[in-house]
A = this chain, B = another copy of it.
Amino acid sequence: MGMWSYALAYLAAGLGAGLVTFGAGFGIGKIAAAAMDGTARQPEAGGAIRITMIIAAAMIEGIALFGVVVCFLLASIKP
């Protein structure tokens, strides 16, 4: 019975890494798509839009890196 804890830890690491990347990709993708759209509409606001995009994307990046570290921890549990 004891091996199930490792089994589910490994399953959680894989599925968690997938979900984390999906969430980060979805969020940053939406942000950057809007940034590109805005830059095309107002090229002279491109610098301000890029700074705003980097701030928001860095926030999502911070959460996602922490989430992937949790998954890395789960994957490196030794039976």
Contacts and interface: CB of A to CB of B under 8 A. Distances in A.
Number of contact residues on A: which range applies?
Answer: 35 or more
Contact of A6 (B5, B57, B59, B70): B5
Indicate the member of A48, A54, A61, A72 with the most B CB atoms within 10 Å: A48
Number of copies: 3
Given A5-B79, A7-B8, A55-B57, 9 more contacts: A4-B5, A11-B11, A13-B74, A21-B67, A39-B52, A53-B55, A59-B60, A62-B65, A65-B66
Contacts of A12: 10-15
A6 to B, nearest CB: 4
Contacts of A4: 1, 3-5, 7
